[in-house]
Structure 1
Amino acid sequence: MRNDNFALFDEDPLGRSINLQSHCYGEFSSAVVQANTTMEDQSQIEVASNNAVFLGIYDGHGGTQASRFICEHLFKNLLRFANDNERFANDNENDITEATLRNAVSATEEGFLDFAKMNYMHQPNLGYVGSCCLAGIIWKETLHVANLGDSRVVIGTMVNKKIRAEQLTRDHNCNDEAIREELRAMHPDDPNVVINDNGK
């Protein structure tokens, strides 16, 4: 999107954007449009170093608390785990791996569950609030992605002057039989943990 298009977009009271910015991996920008009465979604772009760009999209539902918590904690947890890896790295640099991102996502989820347990009596809606979590980091020319929920990472490449899109993540929701069975196994006393409302 060109700069003048972003200016027009930002005049929309339901839209917000981050203008084009440069990084060693190219230019990046983002745009968000509010679709619900309350904006439950969050997103972030963080430039961690000359070697790293972090992107996160958190599709909240039932309220804003979960998506805001992820936005405030996931990147910090990623940096914490990357710094922990420094002690074991030969070149004395921070390191980001698939495990680093997985650990950061797990720590963020555990942190939110603790937050919900501590505040449930004062904020009962914490019992049903949630968020999808889609995170990606480009680290030393390698892209790592994590996905919980039905948001998708799609990468576009130019091939013969045409844009080709490739989905990099697998949807993580109850359309997948394995996920339905996992939920039933985790919650054997809840007959409504998976509700069949579309004939499947």
Structure 2
Amino acid sequence: MLILDILVEESLTASAGESGSLSTHESSPHGTFVGVYDGHGGPETSLYITDHLFQHLKRFTIEQQSMSVDVIRKAYQASKGGFMSIVTKKWLMKPQIAAVGSCCLVGVICNGTLYIANCGDSHAVLGRVVKATGEVLAIQLSAGRSL
């Protein structure tokens, strides 16, 4: 079930989210995937990531028969490789494509485990309410460029 549709704004940000099977096989792990892609220089990279990262994640989940840090890393690498292939093919006719990029922040919840991955300067923060005071504490879930 798609829980968050693609949003493209003037800020070149795209986001996607899905909940359900993390592969094309119903017997595969179920979970929730959320990604935020903050493009710079143009929308091409963030739109490419929106269209391909989750598909790669599902493919590698099938191959490894589980969700893992390695699955997410491979999905990031496959997405990067795919976009770099497009840049290589198009840069003579459209040289500005070599100057576009995107930060990428992903969260995956699967089997009770929260995976956070980021590339670029995007970070994930969790808000936690302190019951005694009602104060909200920010807990940083990502650090630096994790992938």
- After TM superposition, is the score higher than 0.5? yes
Match of 2:40 among 58, 61, 66: 61
1:42 paired with 2:21, answer: no
**Deviation for aligned residue 1:54:** 0.2
Query: Contact between 2:8 and 2:14, CA under 8 Å: does it hold in 1?
Result: no
Instruction: Provide the rounded CA distance (Å) in 1 between the counterparts of 2:89 and 2:107.
Output: 30
Partner SS, residue 19 of structure 2: strand
Q: CA–CA distance in 2 between the matches of 1:96 and 1:111?
A: 22
SS in 2 for 1:59: strand
Looking at CA atoms only, which structure, 1 or 2, has the larger radius of gyration?
1
Equivalent residue runs for 1:137-176 within 5 Å: 137-160=108-131, 161-172=134-145
Name the counterpart of 1:75: 54
Task: Map 1:1-200 to 2 at 5 A.
Answer: 34=9, 38-49=10-21, 51-86=30-65, 95-160=66-131, 161-172=134-145
Q: For each residue in 1:4-36, what CA deviation from the matched residue of structure 2 results, as whole angstroms up to 9, or x when unmatched?
A: xxxxxxxxxxxxxxxxx6xxxxxxx79x794xx
Gaps of at least 5 residues in structure 1 are 1-20, 22-28, 87-94, 173-200
Q: Secondary structure of 1:100's match? A: helix
2:61 & 2:74 partners in 1: Cα distance? Answer: 10
Q: What is the CA-CA distance between 1:140 and the residue it aligns to?
A: 0.9
TM-score in terms of structure 1 length: 0.62
Shift in Å at residue 158 of structure 1?
A: 2.0
**Structure 1 residue 110, shift from structure 2 partner:** 0.8
Structure 2 unaligned residues grouped into runs of 5+: 22-28
Q: Secondary structure at the match of 1:67?
A: helix
Q: Which moved more, 1:112-121 or 1:42-51?
A: 42-51
Between the two proteins, the alignment pairs up a number of residues equal to 133
Distance 2:140 2:50 in 1: 23
Residues 45-104 of structure 1 deviation map (CA, whole Å, 9 limit, x = unaligned): 111338300000000000010000000000000000001112xxxxxxxx1001110110
TM-score (norm 2): 0.83
When the two chains are superposed, the root-mean-square deviation of aligned CA atoms in Å is 2.0
Sequence identity percentage:
35
